[in-house]
Amino acid sequence: MHSRRAKVAAARKRYEALKAAAAEVPGYEILADPVKQITVERLQSGLGAEELLVLVLPHEDPDAEAAEKVTTSHLWVLGKTGAPRLVHAPTPSEDVPGVADLAALFRRAGASLSVARGGVRKSPDRPGADKPEPLPEAMLGTAWSEIERGMRQLIWTPLEASGALEGVSQVTVCTMGAFHNLPVASGAPEGLTVRSAGALPIFALSRGLYAGPGNEASDEASAPTRPAAAVEAPVALLYDDDVKASSDIPQTGVEIAASQWLWERARDGAVIRASGVPFAEAEGPVVRLAHAACHGTVDGSVTPPLPILKLGSGVTERDLVRRPVVEGWMFMACVVGQNFDDLIEGTPVGLVNGALRNGAQTVVAFLSPVPDTIGLLTGLTITAQVSHRGIPLGAAADHARRVLDPTHPEDDPELMRLVAEALAAHRAEDFARELAAGGTPAGLEKDVPPVLRIWTDFIGLAETLAGAESPPSAAELAPILARHIHPRIPAETPEDRLRLGVLQHALVVFEGYPQG
């Protein structure tokens, strides 16, 4: 008993210290009482003309007997004009899964990804907690389609049946409870843009919809003051340069090096800040894009659970506060897109919430463990669009999902050629050096990381180089090598489809400030 009291006292002391630190952050007084200062009128003032705000929430009847408790799902719906509506999802049954069932299936899919099926990153395990049971072999290829069907039944079919989607081009979804970490965009009607916004208080804060301290502000919504981005605002490329981390997931080194080549080519040699352990040390008040490629985890030993970006000793939500404003975040890491409700304060917790609170316009992140090759290709395909085409981060993520999905291919050969050139630039200098030292074209495959070997036609490359009078330079070799690199995500086996589902469903676009 004495030991337990000591633990409780220590936890209370730590909680008070964290609360005191949080109170120094601008906006804390709003989040400490998130409901008092927000009105329907203010919410509507922050919506676009064809935008629909949907709050999805689970509900349990507090008066029901424990054995009879059923978690139902409800949709609070608000358009630019008109009164809010409450749309009810079907009651869970044999044909309709409940949100708890879908959350359990989602966790089991993540546990299956974590058993190293072909170089996938490890899923976090909560110390002392029961681990989710991996899916049986027969469910590997169908788990994501079951989750998509459930999201359609709980969210999209009720919205369509109620007429709420008429005249709507974008749905912004706020979540509560178990819905926080489910792919709510899955099953949405074709052609509809879906954006997540985290919890409702974060949505309201990021769009400037709260009154000022003391609640004396007028009903006119105004976005918080934020510094304007310079034309050449820096881009931060973040990865863990620790030797163990580099050898554990070498794909992140390839992703960062190829991304740097894309940015430098697009910006005519501009210096791009690539950092390892130092976190986002930017020159100036605004970072246009922060691209993190590393391990991610969720510390479940604390309450609420804490998503951590594994850069150096770890980056959490608190580390994003008071940093330079980052307009766009790419979290190419496992599970760091997850958010959790703080049951004491009611304040949502997570890296995504931290980024949005600090002024980010868009955050792209994964809810589940990420297969290494999918993380690499997704990061490069998004980067190629943002750097060379000027496409907004969220739209670039949407297009990457379509282009990389072999089951619903959208042809964009120019984009994929650019990705191949970036991958080729990463190896061209090494290959040219090896050939100049007397190596043979057929021997180039020997020391290539598996992630590049599976996409490179070394037989064709050797045939092309065989007739050369002298070994090519790195500059000469790069375009030749690029023509023999064909990046793709397979979808032939059930294991392939389980991995592919991460890209289709667990890659989430969060938006804060309205896009221009």
Alpha helices in 405-467 (DSSP H): 413-436, 450-453, 458-466
Q: pLDDT tens for residues 247-295?
A: 778 888 889 999 999 998 887 666 676 665 455 555 566 788 899 999 9
Tell whether omega for the bond before 304 is within 30 degrees of 0, i.e. cis.
Answer: yes
Q: Where are the alpha helices (DSSP H) in 163-272?
A: 200-206, 243-248, 251-266
**Residues of the chain whose pLDDT is less than 50?**
115-129, 213-231, 277, 515-516
Domains and CATH numbers, the chain: 39-118+126-196 (3.30.420)
What pLDDT is attached to residue 269?
63
User: What Å distances lie between residue 342 and 140, 347, 360, 444, CA to CA?
Assistant: 33, 5, 22, 53
Residue 66's pLDDT is 63
How many residues does the structure list for the chain? 516
Distance CA 258, CA 254 (A): 6
Torsion angle of C-alpha atoms 327, 332, 334, 339, degrees rounded to 10: 10
Alpha helices, DSSP H, located in 46-128: 99-113
Q: How many CB atoms are located within 10 Å of the residue 173 CB?
A: 23
**In this structure, are strands 235-238 and 286-293 parallel, antiparallel, or unpaired?**
parallel
Query: Dihedral through CA 143, CA 148, CA 154, CA 157, nearest 10?
Result: -150
Cα–Cα distance for residue pair 378/372, rounded to 1 Å: 10
Question: Is 86:59 a contact under the CB 8 Å cutoff?
Answer: no
Give dist(CA 36, CA 348) in Å, integer.
Answer: 16
Q: How far apart are CA 231 and CA 267, in angstroms?
A: 11
Three-state DSSP class for 166?
coil
CA–CA gap between residue 347 and residue 344 (Å, rounded): 8
Sequence letter at residue 244: K
pLDDT attached to residue 44: 92
Q: How far apart are CA 504 and CA 487, in angstroms?
A: 17
Q: Of the candidates 120, 116, 98, which has an alpha carbon nearest to the alpha carbon of residue 502?
A: 120
